[in-house]
Amino acid sequence: MRNIQTIKVQEFAYEAAGLSMIGSLMLPADVQPMTPGVLVLPEALGIDDHCRNWAKRIASELGFIALACDLHGEGQLLGGIEAAQASLGPRLADGELLDLWLSDTLDALAKYPNVDAENLAAMGFCMGVILVSSWLHSEPRLKPQWVCTADSLSASPEVQFRRASSPW
C-alpha cells in the first residue's frame, strides 16, 4: 500500500540557457531536508496536466520533490507540433545549448531548499524521454540507473522507479 501524502503545488521560476522558465514544483507537505529531487520532462508541447499529475504522484506517493519542467519558456503549452519544433529546434540542433538548458534545469532543482543534490532523477514523456536519454551522456549527476521513463498508462511512480533500479 502506498503512503499518500498531502502535497503543496507551486509555480517555480528559473533560468535555463537564457530562457525564463516557469515549471510546476510539487512538494510533500512535510518535506524533510535531503529529499530526493525528480525532474519530469513533458511531451513536446510543454507542461500539461499529464506531466503535472505525474509530478504530483511522485511527491505524494514517494515523498520526493518533483519539478514538471518548462520546455519552451514562460510555462507555455504550445498548440501544435509545428510550434514545438520551432521552439525546440535550436536547442535540439546544438548539443551544447541543449546540455546547457538541461544542466540549468537540473541546477534549479538541485539548489531548491531541502533537495538532496546527490539524489536526483529525471523521467520524461515522449520528447521528454528523448531529452532524458540524451542527457545521460552529458550529465554526471544522473546515473543511468537513476533515470527512468514512464508510460502514460497505469503504472505508479513507485513501479516506474523500481524498474529503473533506483537506490532510493
Express each pLDDT in 123-142 by its tens digit: 888 888 778 877 777 788 87
Distant-in-sequence, close-in-space partners of 63: CB < 8 Å, separation ≥ 6: 3, 5, 28, 35
Average pLDDT over residues 87-100: 90
Query: Residue 138, Cα to own-chain centre: how many angstroms?
Result: 16
Please, which pLDDT band fits residue 154 given cuts at 50, 70 and 90? very low
Higher pLDDT, 83 or 3: 83
Q: Residues 39, 54: contact at Cβ < 8 Å? A: no
pLDDT of residue 166: 40
Report percent pLDDT > 90 for the chain: 62
DSSP string, 144-156: GGGB----SSS--
pLDDT at 92: 86
Q: CB neighbours of 82 closer than 8 A, spacing ≥ 6?
A: none
pLDDT for the residue 141: 84
* pLDDT number for residue 144: 56
Amino acid letter, 105: T
Q: What is the pLDDT of residue 129?
A: 73
Q: Please provide the average confidence, as pLDDT, over all residues in the chain.
A: 84
Give the model's pLDDT for residue 2: 56
